[in-house]
Structure 1
Amino acid sequence: MTAGVSLNIFLILLVIVILTFTIFIWIRNYILQKVEKLTAERLELALRVKEKAHRIQAQYDSDSIVYTHQGPKKKSRKYQKVTVLFADIQGFTRIVEQLNPEVLIDELDQLFFYFDSVAEEYGIEKIKTIGDAYMCAGGLPIKNSTNPVEVVLAALEMQRFMKAMRRVKVIEHKDYWELRIGIHTGPVISGMVGRKKISFDIWGDTVNTASRMESSGMAGEINVSGTTWQLVKEFFISEYRGKMPIKYKGETDMYFIKGIIPELSVDGLGQEPNELFRIKLQHIRFADVEEAVLNRLENELSKDLSYHNMKHTIDVVTQVEIIGRGEGINDEEMLLIKTAALFHDLGFLISYKNHEDFSIELAEEILQMYGYSEDQIEEIKGLINVTRKDAKPRNHLEAILKDADLDYLGRPDFIPVSQNLYEEIQKFNGKMTLKEWNKRQINFITHHKYYTKTARNLRQVNKEQQLKALKELLKVQ
């Protein structure tokens, strides 16, 4: 082989190496750009999920903030259902005369530190302490329906703590403190007060009545108004005390809370709530979740979603309860399946494509804020997953939700509802003729089956009638 040929081969190989390296670099850069783009898109979607989740949980209202020369400040706000607790140490003045000031402050600090921890545990807002008096309120700044129950639970823990301290003091032959607690539920106005030292406070007749409940109580007892009692009587036992005159309000009933209903307490002792208590409370809390979610669906869903709108979510929540009761599911199962129904299409707030994935992410993000356990959230995520088009139910609850989601197939209003779904698909998934759509519907209904006996009893006959009507409609198209 001559030197010229060898050089040519070397040059050819060199060109090939350079071209290969150049192509490799180009492909690598292209892949990196694609990965960065996908990562950025995914990060943006994740941030949108978090933003939606927190807006739903907090029922965020930008108008609640006003900007002053001192910076952002909360506007005054009215709450319709807040439970106010006043606690006052009985015999405090007498004990003060006998205690060293440093010991007195240490004991008060210990007491109020514990009260703060209890308030935090139950999501209750500490308002203030004045000397030996402690004031807190449930149901603000984030509104909720469970605050009467949670405030009474907090009061029971406070009294248990005081009784434990009393036992120690008696053994040590020392004076002990006792606590009077008064509770009332009603509307309040909240806001920030002060110029140099700004603090959060609440006002209204509810606050005054709660204070009267405390001053009319007895040491070691929890005195609640008749209003509060009506809101918590399914959870606690009480002793009726009679009526008390309230200025400008007439008379109000008073009750001493004596403990938790035995079947709702650990070991039936009436001291600590058991799992049944928590499930019962979660059913009340579900109303808060439902209000927040439906509010966002109504205000933020695309108007082009003519089928997967707020009405559809309400329909599915209603139907899972009807079918669930027919199938004899228990209270916790009913809670889980109603929650899954509420969240199953929430992902449309983020994206039309793969909306179930975002529904699952939103459920995981939001439900922990409402006290759902990890196991409950995992089960709810599995339930949402079964609402995918081709997913098959693996258990009884999934079968109920699957049937509820496709309940419209056997309803008298099937044709107009089907038309809404057709219009939505036209907007988001390309064009098809109405005749093609009806053919697809006929094929789908022909192969569809309801999985639960209750759904079959409710909808199967109507579904067959709708199938017949569709076939007749197809003949004239």
Structure 2
Amino acid sequence: MREKLFNVEGKYAALIVLYVLLIQGDGCFANNVISFSEGKENLINSIIVSGDTVDFNQNMDTLVLKEAQFEYLEINFIPKRKEKIQLYRFRLEGVDSVLSNWSYKNSVTYSRIPTGSYNFIIESEDDSQSLIILVTNNYNRYLISSIVLLFIILFSIFLLKLRLSQSVSKKMHSWRKDSIAPIIEKYIKKKEPEQENSQTLTHRASVKYEKATVLFADIQGFTKIVEHMNPETLIDELDRFFVHFDEVAEKYKIEKIKTIGDAYMCAGGLPEKNRTNPIEVVLAAIEMQRFMQETGEDAQRSGKDFWELRIGIHTGALISGVIGRKKLSFDIWGDTVNIASRMESSGVAGKINVSGVTYQLIKDFFECEYRGKMPIKYKGETDMYFVKGIKPKLSIDGQGKVPNDDFLTKLQWIRYNDLEDAVFGQMRQELASSLKYHNISHTMDVCTQVEVFGRAEGLNSKELLLLKTAALFHDTGYMVNPHRHEQQSVRIAKEMLPHFSYSIAEIEAIAQLILVTESDVEPKILMEKIIKDADLDYLGRADFIPLSEKLWEELCNYNGKISQKEWNKKQYAFISRHVYYTETARKLRQVNKEMQLKKIEELLK
């Protein structure tokens, strides 16, 4: 034990020595540090920090900056040989992954750089120079050092107590693991949903929804069944039905509201608003009815009582909220709820009765039968329809029971509109104002063009959906980091798309399409060629010049200032090498692109 304590004390004595060195050292907490090296070949002419020129000596070797005191750092170069134009390439290690390409650019600008140590390297055809850049915070070094020491002392005491009680702790842990832990785990798993539900309800505010779909389901003749059925059997049967309904509701992301006796109530389109809730609620209703029918057929073969279900559905506006003080309850109110209840009470056992409003929203997906009008108090009359099943061409084997791939793709196109709203909303909040070209307008253009090119190239509906989704996400990475933003775009897509019911295979295909928009990647399949052409569609458009100027301004903000002439040279070289990959893009943009090339050529003369 004495040896263990000695080892602990020895370790923390070393940490205290480190603390003393920390106080004495100036590297991490210096306010201004400039060191020089004699006789070094210099390529840096001047350094500007947030508009102010730094006192610069040609032998400067190290530059220290306070993180909170600068917005940008501009480094200007001078040619070593005055008789000719000098070529440069450079890199800020820790920010740039590789050296830049050789160019005539004579300056580079970096926006806010995180705290840390960086090495700036500049090379010409003949010479090279490096400059160490230290970005520090503004905290008092003695205050920080004192805090570090206090933490070390407290941690030492904690670790010492932990070691002294280690043997007893092991025994106690072993005993608890063997006996109590499994029981506690089961108890927590059983009670946790109720606790979470209670906390969730407490924080739920009242919300108005303009478009939600309410489903009422009621067991036909339940009162008569109760009179002669064993109570335990009755509850077991009822529980079995409602548990299955809960599973169906969860499958289609429908919110269960409550059960009242033999009635079951749920609603789609809340708490997360979406456009697809009428279709999803009707799909859930079809599954519920199919389950009840199969159960009834089994009961008939066994000579038992069978239960039939009436379902009513209506779509409209409603309000949701929490009522109660001790026993909280989440509920919904409004005419939509009342009309859905009337649809159920006016229905027929074994059928799904929907209102005229819901019918208009689902008629492209389901076969429906008109059954007349029903008067609604203060609302006049409303049409009613029986849902017979899914349209044969949209169902597996044309049976109208289970949706096929065409159905799911058609539904996913509606979900895409919700996804588009979510992505554009996030981009409006997160994209930097300095992104003059890679903004929402550019993303909208690419989304439009992939659909135009895709339809012209003969893609089917599923391929168009994946392509347009990839176009929607291809520049979202700029919200995180403009450098290698495609990788960040893939990460964002993989986070968001599962919430909009995209499959794993679909998400992987979308990720590959995003990555092909990188400048150095060659497209292979048709979908990759289409998104590549759509991303650079501006090269052959009539508004090429204003878009090119926005791109130039953006690059100056992120990669350093370059002259208009140098930018025109880069544009000319890029457009000269560029090729459109699809026949459609060549027909629509090639001629105009060649005209833009001639305009730039004139500017360079």
Q: Which TM class, normalised by the smaller chain length?
A: 0.7 to 0.9
Higher relative contact order at CA 8 Å, sep ≥6: structure 1 or structure 2? 1
Structure 2 equivalent of residue 281 of structure 1: 411
The change in CA–CA distance for 1:70 and 1:109 in structure 2 (over 3 A counts) is closer
User: Among residues 570, 578, 582, which one is paired with 1:440 in the alignment?
Assistant: 570
In 1, are the aligned partners of 2:370 and 2:386 still within 8 Å (CA)?
A: yes
Q: Evaluate the alpha carbon distance shift between residue 308 and residue 70 of structure 1 in structure 2; reply closer, same or farther with a 3 A threshold.
A: closer
Conserved 8 A contact 2:202-2:322: no
Aligned to 1:153: 283
Deviations 1:253-296 (A, max 9, x none): 11100011111111111111111111111111111111100111
Alpha-carbon distance in structure 2 between the residues aligned to 1:459 and 1:156:
49
CA positional deviation for 1:72: 5.8
Counterpart of 1:217 in structure 2 is 347
How many Å separate the matches in 1 of 2:384 and 2:422? 33
Task: Give the match for residue 271 of structure 2.
Answer: 141
The alignment status of 1:362 with 2:489, answered yes or no, reads no
| Residue 107 in structure 1 maps to residue 107 in structure 2 | no
- 1:265 paired to 2:391: no
Q: Deviations over 1:172-195 (max 9, x none)?
A: 222221110000111111111111
User: Could you tell me which amino acid in structure 2 is paired with residue 108 of structure 1?
Assistant: L
Equivalent of 2:371 in 241, 245, 250: 241
CA distance in structure 1 between the aligned counterparts of 2:483 and 2:220, rounded to whole angstroms: 63
The aligned counterpart of 2:445 is 315
Per-residue deviation, 1:249: 1.7
- Take 2:585 and 2:376, find their aligned partners in 1: how far apart are those partners? 53
Partner of 1:165: 295
Unaligned stretches of 5+ residues in structure 1: 1-33, 36-40, 42-68
**Which residue does the alignment assign to 2:82?**
none
Could you tell me whether the CA contact under 8 Å between 2:201 and 2:330 is conserved in 1?
Answer: no
- CA gap of 1:72–1:87, structure 2 versus 1, over 3 A, is closer
- 3-state secondary structure, aligned to 2:267: strand
Contact between 2:430 and 2:479, CA under 8 Å: does it hold in 1?
A: yes
Q: Which amino acid is 1:73 matched to?
A: H
C-alpha distance in 2, partners of 1:161/1:93?
21
C-alpha distance after superposition, 1:157-211 (max 9, x if no partner): 0001110111122122222211100001111111111111112111111111111
Equivalent residue number for residue 454 of structure 1: 584
Matched, 1:92 2:222: yes
**Residue 80 of structure 1, aligned match among 203, 210, 224:** 210
Whole-Å separation in 1 of the counterparts to 2:601 and 2:381: 68
Distance 2:370 2:274 in 1: 27
**Which sits farther off after the overlay, 81-90 or 463-472?**
463-472
The percent of aligned pairs where both chains have the same amino acid is 63
CA contact (8 A) 2:201 2:329 kept: no
Give deviations 1:429-460, integer Å, cap 9, x for gaps. 11211110111001111111111111111111
Q: CA deviation at 1:148?
A: 0.8
1:402 aligns with 2:532: yes
The secondary structure found in structure 2 opposite 1:191 is strand
From 548, 560, 566, the equivalent of 1:418 is 548
Q: 2:409 touches 2:462 (CA, 8 Å); kept in 1?
A: yes
1:473 offset after TM fit, Å? 2.6
Given the superposition, is the C-alpha separation of residues 82 and 322 from structure 1 closer, same or farther in structure 2, using an over 3 Å criterion?
A: same
Q: Once the two structures are superposed, what CA deviation does each residue of 1:295-353 show, in whole Å capped at 9, x if it has no partner?
A: 11112211111100011111100110011111110011000000000000011111111
SS in 2 for 1:286: helix
| Counterpart residue number, 1:377 | 507
Please say if residues 201 and 328 of structure 2, whose CA atoms lie closer than 8 Å, have aligned partners that are also in contact.
no
What are the ranges of 5 or more consecutive residues in structure 2 without an aligned counterpart?
Answer: 1-92, 95-113, 115-198
Please tell me the residue identity of whatever aligns with 1:269.
Q
Residues 117-173 of structure 1, C-alpha deviations (whole Å, 9 max, x = no match): 000011110000011110001111111111111110100000011101111221222
In the alignment, which residue of structure 2 is the partner of 1:22?
none
Give the count of matched residue pairs.
Answer: 411
Q: Structure 1 stretches (4+) deviating beyond 6 angstroms?
A: none
The offset of 1:71, in angstroms, is 9.7
Q: Which has the larger radius of gyration?
A: 2
Among 200, 204, 229, the alignment partner of 2:334 is 204
| 1:462 CA displacement | 1.1
**Structure 2: how far apart are the matches of 1:393 and 1:339?**
18
TM-score (norm 1): 0.84
1:23-63 superposed Cα distances (whole Å, 9 cap, x missing partner):
xxxxxxxxxxx99xxxxx9xxxxxxxxxxxxxxxxxxxxxx
Bigger helix fraction: 1
SS in 2 for 1:174: coil
Partner SS for 2:228? coil
Greater alpha carbon shift after TM alignment, 98-107 vs 327-336:
98-107
Given the alignment of the two structures, is residue 300 of structure 1 paired with residue 300 of structure 2, yes or no? Answer: no
Tell me the equivalent position of 1:337. Answer: 467
Specify the code of the residue in structure 2 equivalent to 1:145.
R
Q: 1:423 to 1:271 in 2, by over 3 A?
A: same
SS at match of 1:302: coil
Displacement of 1:372 in angstroms is 1.1
Inter-partner Cα distance in structure 1 for 2:219 and 2:536:
59
State the Cα RMSD in Å. Answer: 1.8
- Find the counterpart in structure 2 of residue 255 from structure 1: 385
Query: What's the CA shift for 1:93?
Result: 0.7
Query: What's the TM-score once normalised by structure 2's chain length?
Result: 0.66
Number of the residue aligned with 1:49: none
Q: In the alignment, is the contact (CA less than 8 A) between 2:201 and 2:322 conserved in 1?
A: no
**Relative to 1, partners in 2 of residues 1:70 and 1:306: Cα closer, same or farther, differing over 3 Å?**
closer
Where does residue 231 of structure 1 map in the other structure?
A: 361
More displaced stretch, 427-436 vs 72-81: 72-81
